[in-house]
Amino acid sequence: EKDGHDWFMRKEIHEQPRAVADSLLGRRAPNGELQLDEVRLSDEDLRDIDKVIIVACGTSFYAGMVAKYAIEHWCRIPVEVELASEFRYRDPILTPYTLVVAISQSGETADTLQAIRHARAQRSWVLAICNTNGSTIPRESDAVLYTHAGPEIGVASTKGFLTQLVACYLLALYLAQVKGTRYGEEIADVLDQLEAIPGHLERVLEQREHVYELARRHVGARSVLFLGRHAGYPVALEGALKLKELAYLHAEGFAAGELKHGPIALVEDGMPVLCVVPPRGRDQLHDKMISGIQEVRARGAHTICLAEEGDESITAYADELVRLPRVPVLLQPLVAVVPLQLFACELATVMGHDVDQPRNLAKSVTVE
Ligand code: F6R
């Protein structure tokens, strides 16, 4: 049942190329347009949307953070991302022109369910991104975009997260198509890039032994930091969450630019710092990240850098290096999170923990 793997989690990590490919099947209409038939909101209703609020918990919340970057960039609509447990209690501004997107793998998370009930009571549209057919959250939503991960058994979400990201990109592109903020060709280009992701993921997975070896080297660590910028920031948060929940280690993710505003004081000699390096591009993201890496390294951090193939500027500052395929910055979370999943899975395994059933955690959290 685990396909020769020791854990469901490890099996599910390896299923990700397939899960992403399945999530992209049948999305192109004969005229080349993106089709999301199951989103039952009419084009008129979608065109009127003037704000998106994403509500979710945990890993699904981090998928929502990535979605914000994509929707704002492609659709020019303001997006808020809110922890479902906080959303309802701050009197959010909801109108009939607000689209609330609830992201939930299980579809049963109580905090997220309460958030959508609140949104619907204010007459906002609710769209669920969910992996579980017929679960409560999609049943109580106006529309649903199902992810195609297949059942996720490991308590820590892996393929659930990747397919949520794909669903978020598709939703963002669809909104851009309906609102006319992107041309058909641009949308088709991104779909091409998404369709290349399963092949890229296979190449990332081929480096598994290298990542496992890195993880084993850090078994004694007391604390591990993760740094990212832009779409790499939620990846850093997700990497840290995986390590907390599986290895019971203190781990924290930071936006690299925030380091100097406080967290850099945490850095001690030999502390592992995993860095998600943005692809090289026209903006200064990449270079700014490199200076952040230099700063922690100058204070004794042991840097483990995830950087795209061909990026040689990183080699001087990386104590260890994991190569990522070259993809646009918005899509980089899809490939960058995988080494972090492998890292956490292996570290927890070597520490003797039950990776599929971490202490104190449940697969679906049905209490608020
Ligand atoms: C972390 C993890 C949790 C869930 C969170 C939301 O690995 O699995 O943080 O992401 O409990 O669950 P869903 O997506 O089912 O609403």
Q: Is the pLDDT of residue 367 over 90?
A: no
- pLDDT in the model for residue 363: 83
Q: pLDDT tens, 13-42?
A: 999 999 999 999 999 999 989 999 888 889
Handedness of CA 80, 84, 90, 91 (dihedral sign): positive
State if pTM tops 0.95: yes
CB of residue 164 inside a 6 A radius of ligand 1: no
CB of residue 157 inside a 6 A radius of ligand 1: yes
- pLDDT in the model for residue 280: 95
Q: With contact defined as beta carbons under 8 Å apart, do 124 and 99 qualify?
A: yes
Question: Model ipTM?
Answer: 0.98
Per-residue pLDDT band at 259 (split at 50, 70, 90): very high
CB of residue 60 inside a 6 A radius of ligand 1: yes
- pLDDT in the model for residue 330: 98
Give the nearest ligand 1 atom to 132 CA: 15
Q: Does residue 363 have an active-site annotation?
A: yes
- pLDDT in the model for residue 360: 87
Residue nearest to atom 5 of ligand 1 (CA): 58
- pLDDT in the model for residue 323: 98
Per-residue pLDDT band at 172 (split at 50, 70, 90): very high
CB of residue 112 inside a 6 A radius of ligand 1: yes
User: Cα–Cα distances in Å, from 37 out to 28, 30, 102, 134?
Assistant: 11, 13, 18, 17
Task: Give CA–CA dist 91/235, Å, rounded.
Answer: 29
Q: Is the pLDDT of residue 4 over 90?
A: yes
Task: Give CA–CA dist 95/278, Å, rounded.
Answer: 36
Q: pLDDT tens, 319-356?
A: 999 999 999 999 999 999 999 999 999 999 999 999 89
Question: Once rounded to an integer, what is the mean pLDDT over residues 167-191?
Answer: 96
Which of 62, 101, 106 maximizes ligand 1 atoms within 8 Å of its Cβ, making it the mutation to test the pocket? 106
Q: With contact defined as beta carbons under 8 Å apart, do 170 and 195 qualify?
A: no
- Residue 1: CB atoms within 10 Å: 6
Q: Is the pLDDT of residue 365 over 90?
A: no
- pLDDT in the model for residue 62: 98
Q: List all residues 6 or more positions away from 326 whose beta carbon is below 8 Å from its beta carbon.
A: 279, 308, 309, 310
Q: Is the pLDDT of residue 221 over 90?
A: yes
Q: pLDDT tens, 51-99?
A: 999 999 999 999 999 999 999 999 999 999 999 999 988 899 999 999 9
Q: Is the pLDDT of residue 215 over 90?
A: yes
Q: Is the pLDDT of residue 301 over 90?
A: yes
Per-residue pLDDT band at 362 (split at 50, 70, 90): confident
